Structure 1
Amino acid sequence: MKIVVGFSGGKDSSLALFRLQHNPEYEIDSLLVTLTEGFNRVTTHGVRYELLKQQAESLGIPLREVWIPQECTNEEYQEIMGKAVADMKEDEVTHIAFGDIHLKDVRNYREKMLSGTGITPLFPLWEKPVEELSHEFINLDFKTIITCIDMDKLDKSFSGRIYDWEFIRDYPKEIHDLCGENGEFHSFVFDGPNFNFPIKFELGDQKVTPDYFTKKDRFLYIDLIPIKNMHL
């Protein structure tokens, strides 16, 4: 089965990819990524396009890029993604995998989007305990950094931290999702067992952005500045 992996560069999609790479039934075709025009960054996660390209190079898997406009409407998104799915079908892709864990509305949306296309959605991490997944991720020696936090849920001190045992120890007990699937945080994986070389970067400026609906300052991003990698 020829499979495309929905990829953000973060830990959940990276773990889903790793699991699929160890399943002989699947041939990984490419990494499906959504980027925002003008910003040249991964949508939502805010990571620079250049770092995403380095990830793909290290993983040895080509990117399948989907570019969306700033302030993209749902109708625009569906049209753009529909074209991307049609292109996959032409390339004989049979499945798309996503790193979703427990958000049923997100899964339902993806299944509805792919209904009738001939491409089947897969969810390798679905309904796995988040504590189990977080421990698996760290034990596999993945390295990831927190690139964005929701300040309504996490203290600013979590910005730019490495996702490790110390992070888990300090994570607020009242937030039960160690994987942050409700948007508590986003991340960038810079090394791991399926990487051929680590991605090098330095921390840049932090920036606060407002909630789309309330216009209240809510999300804290930290810029990751690429350091030229000798492997590229």
Structure 2
Amino acid sequence: MVGLADVVVLYSGGKDSNYALYWAIKSGFNVRYLVSMVSENEESYMYHTPNIELTDLQAKSLGIPIIKGFTRGEKEEEVEDLKKVLESLKIEGIVAGALASRYQKDRIEKVARELGLRVYAPAWGRDPEEYMRDIVHLGFEVIFVGVSAYGLDETWLGRRIDEKVIEDLIELKNKFGIHVAGEGGEFETFVLDMPLFKYKIVIDKAEKIWDPYTNSGRLIIKEAHLERK
């Protein structure tokens, strides 16, 4: 890490990208930009989609400039769309929140090689249970905004991650084999507060959308504001 200053953080607004950002700043990197990819495809292979528009509010709370890229979400093409965003930036590295998805990590590393950048994935390979507890102990306020797995029903939408939730996820892992940190696509998250936020995000209006046939749903945050901590 010595000598590397200017990086971007691939930023979705969820727990993993916020943890990656936290790690980067605490490690002494100069985070020049947050980069959020907005996909037209809700089933994107690469990018988190629930409430991605609210990364603007998070960036304002952080005081870090945000750059948004847009993609149709077509497999492999969405990777090239990320490359187009990054190639115009004066940076030396990319920080990503990948934890166990080889698909995502391989493609980010491919883009980085082509652009002559380094990749940092601070959560990669970590024990999921330890990682989730770390997020709670660091003071992250994280809610579920998408669920898609046996054992995760409509009541999980909007639920905050705490020690009880982690224990419940471990139980579901033992019963259904889900990934405790959601890296298998079982759930998506949104961060309302964390140590680097200057303001916390308060939800004013939200709607749960639930499909009983696929046992999946989303919490759509329709209105939110920043509140001084």
Which category of TM-score, normalised to the shorter sequence, fits these structures?
Answer: 0.7 to 0.9
Runs ≥4 in structure 1, deviation > 4 angstroms? none
Is residue 2:195 matched to residue 1:193?
Answer: yes
Query: For residue 224 of structure 1, what is the aligned residue in structure 2?
Result: 221
Amino acid aligned to 1:220: G
Q: Which residue of 1 aligns with 2:98?
A: 100
For 2:214 and 2:178, how far apart are their aligned partners in 1? 24
Shift of 1:159: 1.7
**CA shift in 2, pair 1:108/1:36, >3 Å:** closer
Q: With structure 2 as the length reference, what TM-score do the two structures score? A: 0.85
1:48·1:224 contact (CA, 8 Å) conserved in 2?
Answer: no
Percent identical pairs in the alignment equals 26
Which amino acid counterpart does residue 152 of structure 2 have in structure 1? L
Instruction: Say which SS state the counterpart of residue 110 (structure 2) adopts.
Output: helix
Quick check: 1:18 aligned with 2:16?
Answer: no
**Aligned residues: CA RMSD:** 2.4
TM-score by length of 1: 0.84
Among residues 41, 51, 56, which one is paired with 1:53 in the alignment?
Answer: 56
| Structure 1: gaps spanning 5 or more residues | 211-215
Q: Does 1:79 align with 2:85?
A: no
Question: Is this contact kept in 1: 2:38–2:49, CA < 8 A?
Answer: no
Kept in 2: contact 1:149–1:219 (CA 8 A): yes
- Could you say which residue in structure 1 is the equivalent of 2:181? 179
Aligned counterpart, 1:213: none
How far apart in 2 are the matches of 1:168 and 1:126?
Answer: 19
Q: Which runs of 5+ in 2 are unaligned?
A: none
Contact 2:39 2:71 (C-alpha < 8 Å) held by counterparts: yes
1:111 CA displacement: 1.3
Shift of 1:14: 0.7
